[in-house]
Amino acid sequence: MLRAFGDYNEGEFLFLGNWGPPFLWLFGAIALALIVLTWLDLSALPLRRRVVLVGLRGLTLVAAITLLLEPALELKHVTRVKNHVVVLLDSSRSQTLETGGDQTRFERALTQVERLRRRMSQPSEDHLFEFFAFDSGLEPASLNAAATVTPDGDSTEILEALRAVAERFGRRELGGIVLISDGVDNGELSGRVERGEGLDADTTAFVEGLGVPIHTFATAQAGELRDVAIGRVFHDDFAFVRNAVEVEVDINVRGYESGTIPVTLRREGQPLQTREISLERGTSTYRVAFEFVPELLGKEIYSIDVPVREGEALRDNNIEHFVIKIIRDKIRILHVVGRPSWDVRYLRQLLKNNPNVDLISFFILRTNEDIQRAPQNEMALIPFPVQELFEEQLGSFDLVILQNFTFRPYRMRQYLPNLRDYVYGGGGFMMVGGEQSFASGGYAQTEVLDVLPVDLPGGTAVDSLVDPSDFRPQLTRAGQLHPITRLEFDRGSNQELWETLPEMPGTNIVLEARNDATVLATHPNLRAGGDPMPVLAVREVGEGRSLAMTFDGSWKWNFSHVVDGGNSRPYTSFWNSAIRWLIRDPALNLVQVEIAAEVYSPGEEVAAVVRVYNPDYSPADAVSGVARVWRRDLETLVPGQRGDLVSEHPFTTDARGRFDLRFDLADTGAYAVEAVAEVEAGVPLSDEEIFLGVVRGGEFRDIEPRPELLQALSEASGGRARIAPARGGGRLDFAPARVEQVDRRKVIDIWSAPWLLLAFVVILGLEWGLRRRWGRL
Amino acid sequence: MSVTRRQFVIAGATMVMGAGSAARGAMAFGEESRFNFGLLRYDSPTWNPRPNAISRLLLELELSTSLLIETDARPVNADLEDLVDCPLIVLAGDRGFEPWSTGEREALATWIRAGGLLLVDSSEGRADGEFYRSVQREIDAIMPGESLARVNRDHVVFKSFYLCDGSEGRVVVENYMEGVEFDGRYAILYSHNDLMGAWARDDFGNYEFQVHPGGERQRTMTMRLGVNIAMYALCLDYKEDQVHVPFILRRRRWRVE
């Protein structure tokens, strides 16, 4: 196509002769036959003359055929619609990395932009040049002010950027794309195309479907850097407490091919496990697997890190933080009973009827003191698996209930330290009374005493260790408010209910409560250390909790209370609350904090909700409280510490019992939102939830440039792939502008031109003359 | 001082059990903590046809299991004042009886809802006698829509301590027991075979009735079934659980191997 011809801005050759393809083939065949015959006819001549004459004959035939085809030139003046050529500049943070030379990738990119700018600043009839910076989205920019672009994007999403360009301009209006990047994609494209692989079918189809060339300029080349990076971390967002959890991580290693690298998994900053990888030549990604057992409910901050090696391009990618929410699937309870009784039966029935309870029961149905009246094979008894329960499997339980059980006949004295450690480590423990419990069960001089809420008498005089007289537990002030003994919402009604519940048939004798224990109910007559003797007490023990219940008649709160005309609610409420309290069920909290996400980036708005409930779990309206935001440095995490107070937000709950907290996150760190409210005057309740403030995205997980990925995009689209900065930008072809309309046209016949006829006559005459001269007619 | 055969047997058994068992009694909580049977007193001359039977079973429980027991059955009326202390009650008889009052029926219905277990022991020696029909009538009134049905032989009541099959008794009128389920457990168990007749001994320690057709082996098995019923009342389906314990224990991977 001719681009300009006088007043016309476009022209093209035409053939006016209306010959169809059969005739064209025929003309060609005749011409070929004539040339062959001429060649044979001139066989007697020397080769040079023969070639000259045959050549002239050929030219004659070409001229003749040309005349038959009637060539012409069509000149047009057309109106074009310019298409858009889009320049995409990668503005992600990986562009800040230095290349092998003294420039960063982004500086290389700017140099390339400058060279393109010179060319793209020239007037063009076909193209409008558009300039965008991209990372996780497109940002319009100016080709002349590229230097104002800041490479601070947290991800590189090439395919998403191309798709956005196509949607923005429409494929019909697009003339081409110039992509300037290091190719370190961490969007959809990297998920589709692994290193060393060609483009996948979907991406290829998408690129081809654009219908325009994508010219790429790679700002860095492979092999230019040395780095060890935490790549993708594969973990579930939540896990079950006391269930093994697997976490896998890819370690990306560039430029190091020997030695070992320790990879450490940490929980709340404390080392949990370390794995070592041995570097191998030709391997750049190493998969490392960890397995651990979370012991506590709630959210925990985990991190995986590798040490910084000499010469590393980047240190920020040597550590990755993440949050796992630890939840409970079922409450796993070990119920060990020294002697079947009605109290045992009712508790068992309650536990069995609770679908959220995984119950393991062991009842001592006979002891060695009992007479064996039948051969073993006629009895349905099994040995008591002491070791398995109290050594091998103890840690798998959320709650251990010892009910009227003494350890003495079962050679399990050696396992009692395990029970103590289990409670300190986060387990729930409850001792229910009976003549084989507490001091009369022999626990006074054991490690179990360390975790009980009450002290025990050390004597062995059996009469002094139990009191068989009936009594009615008296609620203490703490007991009136505690969720375990708060059987009725109204305090007065609750007190009244306790006063009408059936009496208990006897109690174990215990001493005073531990200093850090809470006494919920006392004996009306017996005293310990000058105070009423505790019969129901709870205690926080390390990470765990314990409860002492010195009587074994709570079944009467069900059976006798029902028969007396009441209902079983006091019994079920008491026990369900006791279990939930012992296992630290978060749902039992009257103040609850929820945070919408586990991870936020600096600059994002954090959304938290504080919910406050009345003791009957109805929403607490117009309750005042305060929410505090705490922050810890991720580098110096210490379990149990809150860190620095960031902000404080006094609040009053609305009719739904909630307060919505919004604040902007200023910095990275491990954050906690704490809410404190007084549902009842003088009794502050609190809850706390954590979240992570980190720069999100995997921009630095793998910083090895991928020029081959850019090249594959170029090749699939018909564009060119270059390494930036390329001189002058090289030759870049784009799709031509679309013609909107033809304003005027003119056809110039070439075949009828005198010079063409003259040329035909001259060639023919020259051939004739030479033939005669060389003796051929 | 005269010593009855019964006192002699108890004293001997106590010696066999040793000091630990002695301490067991000495340290016990109140009487209500001890296991006992109630014996339902109703309007019939034979509401207690085997007066020495239950205490014999209780003694057997004391000797062969870890239970802490009262030595004598406690007669109870079908009113809430009596029922409130006794979750396990025996209804015994050998003939039909008059319909109970509405108050009695309501009291028993409440008692069953609260968790009571009624063991019905027929000593009338036939399957569909007047006593059986009277009991069925009262069940209709106490638990409308419910009726006695055969207890499966692999039910936990037959393996709660010993291995039994339900055909035990002084006689074998039927080789199965019947029952009525409520809230996932048997609230009523019915034996056609005069269990108490096989348990009963006089004050001299002699068994009061011959056992047919299986003789002393059948008596032994009947005593075992009594132990099982007591264990079932206190432990419910505990023994059923034991089958699943290994699986439940190892189901979770809670440790890193």
Question: What's the pLDDT at A378?
Answer: 75
Highest mean pLDDT among A58-62, A307-311, A404-408: A404-408
User: What's the pLDDT band for B183 if we cut at 50, 70, 90?
Assistant: confident
Q: Convert the pLDDT of each residue in A223-239 to its tens digit.
A: 777 889 998 899 888 88
Q: Convert the pLDDT of each residue in A695-739 to its tens digit.
A: 866 677 778 889 999 999 999 999 999 988 876 556 788 888 877
Cross-chain residue pair A349–B115, CB shorter than 8 Å: yes
Rounded Cα distance between A213 and A332, Å, is: 63
**Any chain B CB within 8 A of the CB of A553?**
yes
**Any chain B CB within 8 A of the CB of A293?**
yes
Question: What's the pLDDT at B250?
Answer: 63
Domains and CATH numbers, chain B: 5-251 (3.40.50.12140)
Query: In angstroms, what separates the C-alpha of A366 from chain B's closest C-alpha?
Result: 4
Query: In angstroms, what separates the C-alpha of B16 from chain A's closest C-alpha?
Result: 8
Cross-chain residue pair A348–B66, CB shorter than 8 Å: no
Widest distance between CA atoms in chain B = 69
- Concatenate the DSSP letters of all residues of A593-621 into one string: EEES-SEE-TTSEEEEEEEEB-TTSSB-T
Rounded Cα distance between A522 and A485, Å, is: 12
Question: What's the pLDDT at A671?
Answer: 95
Q: Convert the pLDDT of each residue in A461-504 to its tens digit.
A: 666 789 989 999 999 988 988 889 988 878 889 999 999 999 99
- Arithmetic mean of pLDDT, A247-253: 92
A376 pLDDT higher than 80:
no
A333 pLDDT higher than 90:
yes
Query: In angstroms, what separates the C-alpha of B128 from chain A's closest C-alpha?
Result: 32
**Any chain B CB within 8 A of the CB of A434?**
yes
Task: For residue B67, give the nearest of A339, A372, A560 by CB distance.
Answer: A339
Cross-chain residue pair A369–B233, CB shorter than 8 Å: no
Nearest CA in chain B to A365: B66
Mutate to test the interface with B, among A336, A341, A393 (most CBs of B within 10 A): A341
Question: What's the pLDDT at A777?
Answer: 63
Cross-chain residue pair A345–B24, CB shorter than 8 Å: no
Rounded Cα distance between A558 and A388, Å, is: 33
Cross-chain residue pair A378–B163, CB shorter than 8 Å: yes
Q: Kindly list the residues from chain A whose CB atom is less than 8 angstroms away from the CB atom of residue B238.
A: 348, 361, 363
Domains A227-327 and A588-693 share a fold: yes
Three-class DSSP labels, B105-127: HHHHHHHHHCCCEEEEEECCCCC
Query: In angstroms, what separates the C-alpha of B17 from chain A's closest C-alpha?
Result: 5
Query: Which of A241-255, A512-526, A730-744 is least confident?
Result: A730-744
B28 pLDDT higher than 70:
no
- Arithmetic mean of pLDDT, B166-183: 92
Mutate to test the interface with A, among B17, B66, B80, B227 (most CBs of A within 10 A): B66
Rounded Cα distance between A175 and B117, Å, is: 88
Task: For residue B32, give the nearest of A338, A352, A505 by CB distance.
Answer: A505
Highest mean pLDDT among A18-32, A193-207, A212-226, B111-125: B111-125
B31 pLDDT higher than 80:
no
Neighbours of A765 (CB within 10 A): 11
Domain A227-327 has CATH 2.60.40.10: yes
Share of chain A above pLDDT 90, in %: 45
Token pair, residue B47, equals: 């509401």
Specify the 3-state DSSP secondary structure of A722.
strand
B244 pLDDT higher than 70:
no
Q: What is the rounded average pLDDT for all residues in chain A?
A: 88
Mutate to test the interface with A, among B254, B256, B257 (most CBs of A within 10 A): B254
One-letter amino acid identity for A256? Answer: Y
- Arithmetic mean of pLDDT, A458-462: 67
Cross-chain residue pair A468–B245, CB shorter than 8 Å: no
**Any chain B CB within 8 A of the CB of A242?**
yes
Q: What is the rounded average pLDDT for all residues in chain B?
A: 84
Question: What's the pLDDT at B10?
Answer: 37
Cross-chain residue pair B241–A373, CB shorter than 8 Å: no
**Any chain B CB within 8 A of the CB of A344?**
yes
User: What's the pLDDT band for A121 if we cut at 50, 70, 90?
Assistant: confident
Question: What's the pLDDT at A217?
Answer: 93
Task: For residue A379, give the nearest of B24, B27, B162 by CB distance.
Answer: B162
User: What's the pLDDT band for B232 if we cut at 50, 70, 90?
Assistant: very high
Question: What's the pLDDT at A749?
Answer: 81
Question: What's the pLDDT at A38?
Answer: 87
Question: What's the pLDDT at A740?
Answer: 67
Rounded Cα distance between A502 and B221, Å, is: 38
Q: Kindly list the residues from chain B whose CB atom is less than 8 angstroms away from the CB atom of residue A291.
A: 256
Query: In angstroms, what separates the C-alpha of A414 from chain B's closest C-alpha?
Result: 21
Cross-chain residue pair B231–A558, CB shorter than 8 Å: no
- What are the domain boundaries of chain A? 10-79+741-773, 83-224+705-736, 227-327, 331-370+383-584, 588-693
- Arithmetic mean of pLDDT, A168-172: 80
**Residue B179 in contact with residue B149, Cβ under 8 Å?**
yes
- Arithmetic mean of pLDDT, B186-214: 92
Question: What's the pLDDT at B23?
Answer: 40
Question: What's the pLDDT at A5?
Answer: 64
Query: In angstroms, what separates the C-alpha of B141 from chain A's closest C-alpha?
Result: 18
Nearest CA in chain B to A503: B32
Sequence-distant (≥ 6) Cβ neighbours of residue B215 within 8 angstroms: none
Quote the radius of gyration of chain A (alpha carbons, Å): 44
Rounded Cα distance between A28 and A34, Å, is: 10
User: What's the pLDDT band for B5 if we cut at 50, 70, 90?
Assistant: very low
Q: Convert the pLDDT of each residue in A558-576 to its tens digit.
A: 988 888 788 888 999 999 9
Query: In angstroms, what separates the C-alpha of A291 from chain B's closest C-alpha?
Result: 6
Question: What's the pLDDT at A517?
Answer: 92
Q: Convert the pLDDT of each residue in B95-140 to its tens digit.
A: 999 999 999 999 999 999 989 999 999 999 998 899 999 999 999 9
Going by their DSSP bridges, the two strands A127-134 and A83-90 should be labelled as: parallel
Q: Kindly list the residues from chain B whose CB atom is less than 8 angstroms away from the CB atom of residue A372.
A: 64
The CATH architecture that domain A331-370+383-584 belongs to is 3-Layer(aba) Sandwich (3.40)
User: What's the pLDDT band for B177 if we cut at 50, 70, 90?
Assistant: very high
Query: Which of A67-76, A542-551, B3-12, B246-255 is least confident?
Result: B3-12
Rounded Cα distance between B216 and B225, Å, is: 14
Rounded Cα distance between A612 and A589, Å, is: 9
Rounded Cα distance between A24 and A68, Å, is: 10
Query: In angstroms, what separates the C-alpha of A691 from chain B's closest C-alpha?
Result: 26
B8 pLDDT higher than 60:
no
Q: Convert the pLDDT of each residue in B59-96 to its tens digit.
A: 999 999 989 888 888 899 999 888 887 889 999 999 99
Segment holding A158, helix H or strand E? helix A158-169
Domain A83-224+705-736 has CATH 2.40.110.10: no
- Arithmetic mean of pLDDT, A125-153: 86
Task: For residue B234, give the nearest of A345, A369, A468 by CB distance.
Answer: A345
At which residue do the structure tokens 């010593």 appear? B3
**Any chain B CB within 8 A of the CB of A31?**
no
Q: Convert the pLDDT of each residue in A574-587 to its tens digit.
A: 999 999 999 988 77
Q: Out of 2.40.50.140, 2.60.120.380, 3.30.360.10, 2.60.40.1930, which CATH number does the structure's domain A588-693 have?
A: 2.60.40.1930
